[in-house]
Amino acid sequence: MVGRGQLWKSDGTIVESRDPEHRMLFCESDNLDALFGGIEEIIGMPIGKIVVESKRRVTKEYMEKLIPAWVRKFLYVVGPKMITRRITDIGRAYGYGNIELVEYRRRFGDADYLLLAVNNPYSLHLFQGDSMGGLEAATGRECTAEVKRDAEGRYLVEVKVGTHPPELQERLKARRYPLKPGNIRLERCGGCGVPLEIARYRWDLARGTITDPRTGMRMAIFGPAGLEAIFYDLEAELGDAVPATIIEAERRYVKDHLDHQEWLRGEEALRHMMALRGLGILSEYKAHNGSFTATISNACVPHLMVGIVQGLFEMATGSDSTTYQWSRAEDGDLTITINAT
pLDDT of residue 18: 85
Residue 29 counted as domain residue: no
Q: Are residues 198 and 276 in the same domain?
A: no
Q: What is the pLDDT of residue 317?
A: 84
Q: What is the 3-state secondary structure (H, E, C) of 179-248?
A: CCCCCCCCCECCCCCCEHHHHHCEEECCCCEEECCCCCCEEEEECHHHHHHHHHHHHHHHCCCHHHHHHH
pLDDT of amino acid 35: 87
Number of domains in the chain: 2
CA distance 229 to 171: 7
This prediction has a pTM of 0.88
278 and 201 together in one domain: no
30 inside domain: no
Residue 51 lies in a domain: yes
**CA 291 to each of CA 247, 268, 309, 339: distance values in angstroms, whole numbers, following the listed order:** 18, 19, 12, 5
Alpha helix (H) residue ranges in 44-175 = 48-66, 69-78, 80-94, 124-139
- Please give the pLDDT value at position 191: 87
Looking at the fold, whether 162 and 300 belong to one and the same domain comes out as: no
Residue ending a domain, choose from 238, 259, 277: 238
Encode the chain (341 residues) as per-residue pLDDT tens digits. 899 889 999 999 999 998 888 899 999 898 888 889 888 988 898 999 889 988 988 888 888 887 788 777 777 777 667 777 777 888 899 999 999 988 887 766 677 888 999 999 999 999 999 888 888 888 888 888 999 999 988 999 999 887 776 655 455 455 677 899 999 999 999 888 899 998 889 999 999 999 988 888 899 999 998 898 889 888 888 888 899 999 998 998 888 877 666 656 778 888 888 999 999 999 988 888 888 999 999 999 999 999 999 998 898 888 888 999 999 998 889 999 999 98
Do residues 188 and 307 both lie within one domain?
no
Is the same domain home to 227 and 266?
Answer: no
Residues 198, 86 share a domain: yes
Look at residue 192 in the predicted model and tell me its pLDDT: 86
Last residue of a domain, one of 198, 221, 238: 238
Does some domain include residue 1? no
Q: What is the pLDDT of residue 98?
A: 93
67 C-beta neighbours (distance < 10 Å), count: 15
Q: In this predicted structure, what is the pLDDT of residue 169?
A: 46
Same domain for 187 and 203: yes
For residues 231 and 282, state if they share a domain.
no
Same domain, 140 and 118: yes
Question: Looking at residue 281, which CATH number applies to its domain?
Answer: 3.30.1380.20
CA distances 130 to 55, 113, 209, 226, Å, are: 6, 15, 18, 10
Comparing CA positions, the residue from 322, 328, 325 lying closest to residue 336 is 325
Are residues 221 and 94 part of one domain? Answer: yes
The neighbouring-strand residues paired with 115 are 103, 158
Asked if residue 63 belongs to a domain, the reply is: yes
Q: Are residues 325 and 283 in the same domain?
A: yes
End residue of a domain, out of 218, 238, 258: 238
- 159 and 255 inside one domain: no
Res 260: pLDDT: 62
| Residue 149 domain flag | yes
233: containing domain: 44-175+183-238
16 in a structural domain? no
In a domain, residue 83? The reply is: yes
